[in-house]
Each structure stands twice: as structure tokens, then as C-alpha cells.
Amino acid sequence: MAFAGIDEVTDDTFAAEVLAADGPVLVDFTAAWCPPCRMIAPVLADVAREEADRLRVVQLDVDTNPETQARYGVLSMPTLMVFRGGEPVKSLVGARAKARLLRELADVL
């Protein structure tokens, strides 16, 4: 289900790919059955492409990776969580337009 520029992470790869990353990583907690997740996917692909030098965007399917979902208390999809230095620094719930998403991410980029 991943779009171009968006890597998929799993419970097994989350620590290495997200928590140990050098820069900020936006994690899209998503599910195949979630219509708003499908709506925001192309927006996230654009952001991943346009902000590649400042932000990495990854996707985590909550249905196949319940440990990470539970660890961060993710109850609604899509949840977008930005991690920096191994810690979550921002959390956004729900689909949104690209301009709004970039405004909301400005303080963590």
C-alpha cells in the first residue's frame, strides 16, 4: 500500500528505521480499510518527495504491526506522528490538505 517515496516499517524495523534515525521521521499509522488513510496517502507522498532533505516519511500498517501501535497509544487512523531523537515530538490525527499539513509540521522540520 506504500506510495512512491514512502517506505513501510514494521514492529521489527521500527527501532532501527524510526527511533535511531538521524533526522525527523513522520510515521503514518495507517490501515488498508481506512478511507481517510487512502485520502492522505498522496499528500504524504508529495510531502515525502518535496521535503526529502528535511523529513523522512514512513508508513506503518496497524493491523499487521500491533505492538508499535499499542506502544504509542494510536487509536485512530490515520495518526501522523513525528519522531526526533527516538521520541515522538508531534502527533496529528486525521486526513488533511497538504498546505495545512506543512503548516502543522513547520515547527518540527
What is the number of alpha carbons within 13 Å of residue 38 lying toward its C-beta? 4
- Set 18, 25, 34, 95: catalytic member: 34
d(CA 88, CA 81): 7
Cβ 66 vs Cβ 24: under 8 Å:
no
37 belongs to the catalytic site: yes
Cα separation, 6 vs 30, whole angstroms: 12
Active site residue 59: no
Facing residues of 57 across strands?
A: 26
Name the active-site residue from 26, 27, 37, 55. 37
Kindly list the catalytic residues: 34, 37
